Structure 1
C-alpha cells in the first residue's frame, strides 16, 4: 500500500465518485461516502496490478466522508476501508481489513472469491474481527465518465391502460438467438440488436420489464453446487449495471457496461419500447450475520440493515435472504431514492418493479400505507412520473400479503388474478364469480381506494414459477437440477393433466395443452388492467417442469430459438394486436352506475347472470358482452373514436358447450374474431347458436358500421 496524491477536502455531495474541478482549477474526481459509525475512512485507489494507494478522507460532514483527488479520471478502480468499532452485539462491524465497494459506484469490476477472506468476522470467533485482507478477493468500484450522446432520445411514455408488459431476462433472451452475433448474445447489446428488437416490436408489447440488472453476486451455497444466481436477485450495487451482461466488459472495456446499457435503452426507445427495471431494494448480497462483508455492512451496518433489537448480532429478515434494508434510516432511504432518480435521469429508464415491495414500508416493522418511502416517492418530481409496480408481498410477517394496499400512484402484481385464472382453467369449482371480478379489473381490491383498473398488473406466469407451457404440461414441479432434492419452489400444480406429464406423443394431450395455453393467453390479454406476459411464453418455452430456475444459467432457462412454437407465436401476436386495436379491452376506469351497461354478463343459454348463477359452484360457462360505443378512445388529434362490440364466450369445462347469443344482441352481425379451440374459424359469421370447444374462448365482433348507437342498446 502506497501513499496517494495530495487530496483536498472536496464536497460531501453528491455521494459517490463524481468527475469535478478542484479549487485550483485542476480536473479530478470528488469522492464522498456515508458512514455515521466509522471513526476513519480511507479511499483506496487500485492499479491494474492490484497495487493499492491509500488516501485518508480527513473531512467529514454529518456522516459523509469526502475528498477531491486531482488527476483521477474515468476507469480508475477504487474502494474504501472503514476503521472503527467491531462489536456485533451493538450492531457495529467496522473492519479496516475489508476493502469495500462504494454504495454509489456507477460501475463495478471483478468477482467475489467467496471464502474466509471476505468475512468481516473471524469464523471461529464471530464476535471478533477477521484479520484477513479481502483485497484481491472482492470486486472494486470504477470511476465513470457520465457523458453520452442520447441523440434526442424520446421516452415512449405509454399510458398504463395501453401498456403490455413483457418480463424478460437480459441474458437469457438472446443467449442462443441465431440472428444475434455470437459476441453480443446474452448482453445489453444483444437485447438492442435488430433481431431481438424486431421480435419485441413484432409481438406488439409496449414495455420490457427486465429482471434485475443491478450488479449482483452469487451466494456461496450455489457456487458450492456449481450453480449461480441466474435471476440476479442478490444485489450489491444499486447504481451499477451488472457487468456480466456487457459485451464491452467481455472485450476488456472496464466500465463499458454503463455506455452499453444506455445504448440499449436508446435503441429500445427508438423502437417505441419502454424499459422497466426489476429492482431489489429489500435486501443485499451480504446476507445474514454469517455472510460476506462487501459494502454496506462494513461502512454502516446499523444504518443499512434492520437489526434484531433483542440481539443486534442478528438481522431481521422479511425477505428470506438473510437481511432487510433499514428504510427507517435517512441514509438508507436516501440511497434508495438517489438510485431510483439516477436510473431515470441518467440512464433514461421508464419505471420500476419493486421486488418484495412491502419491505420498503416496514420502517416500524409492520406494513404502513403511510410509510416515509411512499410519501417521498409521491412528492419526488422525477420518480412520481414513471411506472411504479409493486410485488405486494414479502416473507414471514403477519401482514406479508399486502395486495391492494399500495398508494394511488402504484400498480401491483395481482396474485389473486393469477390464482383465480389458473384455477378456473384447471376446472376448479366455484370460480365463475371471481373470474368475472378479475377479468373486470379487480375492483374489490383497488376501487375503494380510488384507484383504476390499471392498478392491477394481470399475470398468469412470471419468472418465479412455471412457464406457460410447463403450467399446462406438469402436475408437479421438477426442480431436481437445483440440488435441493426438489424441495425448493412452490408446491404441486393441482392437476391439469390427469397424470400425463411433460413431453408426450399423445396427439389428444398435445391438442389439449395447446388449447389451454391459448385460452390463458386470451384471458390475460383481454382482461381489464395491465397485462404482463412472461418472456418466452409466446414461443412455447419450457423449463422441463422446473418452477424455480433461479440458479440455472443454461439451456434450461435460456430461450430456445430453435424450438419456437410458430403457431403459438402467431396467435399471441394476434391477441396482443386485438387488445391494442380496441379500447373496450383497455378500460381506464371502473364501471359504476349507468356505466355498468358497458359490460354485461350472460349465461351460456343467453340469459342474464343472476345471483343463483354466480353462486353455482358447477358453473363453467360465461358470456362477456362489451359495448364498444360506450368505451370511447381518442386519437392523437383528440378525435373521439368509437369501438366495435364484442362477445367473449368462455367455456371453462372439459366438454364443448353450445352458447346462445343473448336476445338483445342477436340482431347484430357477429363474426368470429378468434377461437382458441379452432384457429381456422376466424372471420366466419355465426348464427344465434355458437359451439365453443372444451376449455376455450370464442371472441365475436360486431363491427361499428355507422355513428351512434346500434339496435338493441340502452338509450
Structure 2
C-alpha cells in the first residue's frame, strides 16, 4: 500500500518543469527558445523592468521561496505558449535572475518545486502556475462557472475527502489561472497635490468603485464601474457637493471569486478575498488588463486629489483567497506554505482567525515585508493617502494572542512613510481575545462599533439608560482618552458595507438574504433595527414618512458627534438592499447605487440635509474637536465646555444617567476650544445645544438659561422634511419648547 502522500492523480500531460508545455486538451505546443538568464539581483522583489548601464533592457525577477528546491519563471506569449526559465541564483532565500528582452506587458507566473508533505505543512507542486505576490498587474480571471480542479494543489475530487488535501494533483493549472504582467511606470507624482486633511476635519465616505458608478447616468457607459468612472467629473461632483474629505474604497487589490459562489452563479462583490497585494483589481479597469489598470488607477487618484478628496484603501492582509487545506493553490500556498501562513500544531491544518480558512503569519519577516512593501507601494507609487485594515486584530497577533507590541504595529509605527498616512483599524477578528476596540496604539484610529450600537439602540428606544449615548456623542473618552489619543481616534459610523443600509435599518427588523443562496443563514441576526411598523417596502405614507425622519435623525446624530464620521455611499439618498444585510456576493442592482432616487423629493431632501450637516461641521470647530472635553468650568460664571441637560432644563445629576430616558440635551461651548487657528490665534466658535428625543410622542424641553445662553436659534429640526436655512426660529432661554416625537433639534446660542 502507498500512503496518501505518495499517491498521484493521473496526469495525462507531461510533468511540470519538463520544458514541454501542453494545451489543456493534451496537444503539445511548439516550445519557444529559452532566453538567456543573467544572475540579476535579489531586490527589489517582484518583476522589475530596467535598462542596464550597458543599454540592455529586460526584467529582473525575484521571489522569496525559502524552502523551495527549484524555481522557474514562466513567460506566456499572446497564444498562451509557455517558456520556462530556471532561476538558479539564490540569495538570502530569494530566487532571482535578470532576463534580457522581457519587456513591459509580458505575462508571467512561477512554478516552484519542493517536497510534498502536507503533514509538515509542505505543499510544493510545480504543476501549479503561481501568481507573483509582487505582481503589479494581473491579466485574466478564473473560470466564471467555478474554479477548475486543475487549480488545486491536491486532488479536489479524491474519493476519500478526509485525506484529499494530502494527494498531490499533477495536472497543469496554467491554462486556468490569471498571469502577472510586467509593468513599467516611472511616474514621480510631481504634479500631484495631496489634500492632507487633518484627522479632526475628516469626513469619510465608504464606497465601492464599481457599485458607485455602475448606474450613474452622467458617466459614459463604457466607463461605468471602473476607476475611470470614479474619476469622471459627474462622480466627483457628487462627492464635492456632499462635502466629504476622503473616500474609503472597498478592496481594490486583485481578488478572486470563491468557488462556492461561482457554482451558484454569483461573484464576490465586496472583494475581501485578495490574491495580489500590489495589483489594482483588473475588472475595475476600462483600459484593459495588461498594465493599463495601473495608470488608470493613478489618474483616478489624481482626479480625486484635485477635488480635495483623499483616497483611503480598505486592505485585506489578514488572509488570502487560497482558503484552508482544501482551498486552491494560487500563489503563497505553492511558494512556501509554511513560510506565509499560520499553521496549527498539526501543520496540515491552518490557524483561522479570520473565518476565511487561513491567516497570514505576520510575525514572519518575509510576510511582514510583503505587507509593508505593499503599503509603501500604494502610498509612494499609487498615490493613496491611507488604509483601513480589515480584521486588524489578526495582524496584531504575535504567537497567538493579540499584542499591541506586535512586530506589525511596531514596524508601522517607525516606518517613515506609513506613520504619516491615515491608519484605520477594524479592531477585531474572530479568534479568542480578538475584540480590541479602544486598544490600538495612538498612531491608529478605529472603527467604533460601540458608537454604532448605541446610536441604533437610542433611536429605536432600546437603551436602558443614556450613559452609553453620552460617551459616544462626546468622542468616546472611555475608550480613547489614554496614551495621547484624541477624539478622532474614534471613527463613528451607524452603517458600513457589512450589514443593513441606513434605509434598511429603519425598514426591516430581520435580514432577508435569500438571494445569497444560503437559506438566509448568512449575515448577522444582531441588527438593532426597527422597521417603523411594517416589514420592508410599504405604501403606507405614515410609515414611509417616519422612516425618512429616522434617517434624518441618524445622519444628524452621526454628523454632530465628536469623532470622525463615516458615511456609506448611497445612505444619503435612501439606497436599499431590500433587507439583505450581507450583500458581499450581489454584484447587481441590489448593491449598486440607484441614482434615480435623487429624482424623488424625499430622498433628494435627505441628500441636501446631509450636505448641509457636513458643511455645518466644516464651519464649526466645536463640532470636530481635536481634544476631549474636560467638563470643567471655563469661566468664573461656571460655563463648561460640555454640559448635559434633562428635559426639565436642569443639568444631569448622577442618578439621571442611570434612569431610562428618551430625551438628552448636550451643550457644546465654543469658548476657548483647544488648539490654534492657522494664524496662531485661540479658536473661538459659536456654542450649540443639541436636543435628541427618541420618544414616540412630543415632549417639552426647558432651554437652559444663563450662563449657558440668553437666546437660542434653531439651526436643524429633523421633524421637518425640508430644512430652512438660518436664520430660524429664535427662543428665549428658560422657555419650554415642544420637541416633536423622534426629533433632533440643533440650536445655536444667539
> Which of 273, 276, 296 in structure 2 is aligned with 1:260?
296
Q: CA deviation at 1:441?
A: 0.7
Q: CA deviation at 1:639?
A: 4.2
Q: CA deviation at 1:681?
A: 5.9
Q: CA deviation digits over 1:373-399, x for unaligned, max 9?
A: 00000000000000000001111x221
- What residue number does 1:690 align with? 737
- What residue number does 1:622 align with? 664
Q: CA deviation at 1:667?
A: 4.9
Q: How far apart in 2 are the matches of 1:649 and 1:499?
A: 25
- What residue number does 2:267 align with? 228
Q: How far apart in 1 are the matches of 2:568 and 2:737?
A: 32
- What residue number does 2:8 align with? none
Q: CA deviation digits over 1:285-326, x for unaligned, max 9?
A: 0001111111000001011100111x1111000100000000
Q: How does 1:213-612 map to 2 (within 5 A)?
A: 213-249=252-288, 254-309=290-345, 311-395=346-430, 397-491=431-525, 493-494=527-528, 496-497=530-531, 499-564=533-598, 565-592=603-630, 594=632, 597-612=640-655
Q: How far apart in 1 are the matches of 2:519 and 2:474?
A: 41
Q: How far apart in 1 are the matches of 2:656 and 2:511?
A: 35
- What residue number does 2:7 align with? none
Structure 1 residue 31 corresponds to structure 2 residue 61:
yes
Does structure 1 conserve the Cα–Cα contact (< 8 Å) formed by 2:34 and 2:83? yes
Q: CA deviation at 1:494?
A: 4.7
Does structure 2 conserve the Cα–Cα contact (< 8 Å) formed by 1:583 and 1:633? no
- TM-aligned CA distance change 1:307 to 1:486, over 3 Å: same
Does structure 1 conserve the Cα–Cα contact (< 8 Å) formed by 2:693 and 2:743? yes
> Which of 692, 708, 714 in structure 2 is aligned with 1:672?
714
Q: CA deviation at 1:450?
A: 2.8
> Which of 43, 49, 60 in structure 2 is aligned with 1:19?
49
> Which of 129, 135, 145 in structure 2 is aligned with 1:105?
135
- What residue number does 2:4 align with? none
- What residue number does 1:709 align with? none
Root-mean-square deviation over aligned CA pairs: 1.5
- What residue number does 2:155 align with? 122
Structure 1 residue 652 corresponds to structure 2 residue 694:
yes
Q: How far apart in 2 are the matches of 1:560 and 1:506?
A: 22
Q: CA deviation at 1:148?
A: 3.0
| Structure 1 residue ranges (4+ consecutive) displaced by more than 6 angstroms after TM superposition | none
Does structure 2 conserve the Cα–Cα contact (< 8 Å) formed by 1:20 and 1:30? yes
Q: How far apart in 2 are the matches of 1:25 and 1:494?
A: 65
Q: CA deviation at 1:650?
A: 1.1
Secondary structure, in 3 states, of the residue corresponding to 2:175?
A: coil
Secondary structure, in 3 states, of the residue corresponding to 1:628?
A: coil
Structure 1 residue 141 corresponds to structure 2 residue 180:
yes
- TM-aligned CA distance change 1:555 to 1:505, over 3 Å: same
- TM-aligned CA distance change 1:667 to 1:244, over 3 Å: closer
Does structure 1 conserve the Cα–Cα contact (< 8 Å) formed by 2:507 and 2:532? no
Q: How far apart in 2 are the matches of 1:61 and 1:673?
A: 67
Q: How far apart in 2 are the matches of 1:482 and 1:590?
A: 43
What residue ranges of structure 2 are gaps of 5+ in the alignment? Answer: 1-20, 22-30, 159-163, 635-639
Secondary structure, in 3 states, of the residue corresponding to 1:449?
A: coil
- TM-aligned CA distance change 1:219 to 1:630, over 3 Å: same
User: What is the TM-score with the length of structure 1 in the denominator?
Assistant: 0.95
Secondary structure, in 3 states, of the residue corresponding to 1:624?
A: strand
Q: CA deviation at 1:485?
A: 0.8
- What residue number does 2:748 align with? 701
Q: How far apart in 2 are the matches of 1:646 and 1:632?
A: 17
- What residue number does 1:10 align with? 40
Q: CA deviation digits over 1:311-350, x for unaligned, max 9?
A: 1111000100000000121111100000000000000100
Q: How far apart in 1 are the matches of 2:176 and 2:55?
A: 37
Q: How far apart in 2 are the matches of 1:401 and 1:573?
A: 34
Does structure 1 conserve the Cα–Cα contact (< 8 Å) formed by 2:630 and 2:642? no
Structure 1 residue 199 corresponds to structure 2 residue 227:
no
Q: How far apart in 1 are the matches of 2:737 and 2:195?
A: 41
Q: CA deviation at 1:619?
A: 1.2
Q: CA deviation at 1:23?
A: 6.7
- What residue number does 1:183 align with? 222
Does structure 2 conserve the Cα–Cα contact (< 8 Å) formed by 1:107 and 1:240? yes
Q: CA deviation at 1:657?
A: 1.2
Q: CA deviation digits over 1:264-286, x for unaligned, max 9?
A: 00010000000000000000000
Query: How many residues align structurally?
Result: 697
Secondary structure, in 3 states, of the residue corresponding to 1:686?
A: strand
Secondary structure, in 3 states, of the residue corresponding to 1:122?
A: coil
Q: CA deviation at 1:620?
A: 1.3
Does structure 2 conserve the Cα–Cα contact (< 8 Å) formed by 1:658 and 1:692? yes
Does structure 1 conserve the Cα–Cα contact (< 8 Å) formed by 2:672 and 2:682? no
Q: CA deviation at 1:126?
A: 2.7
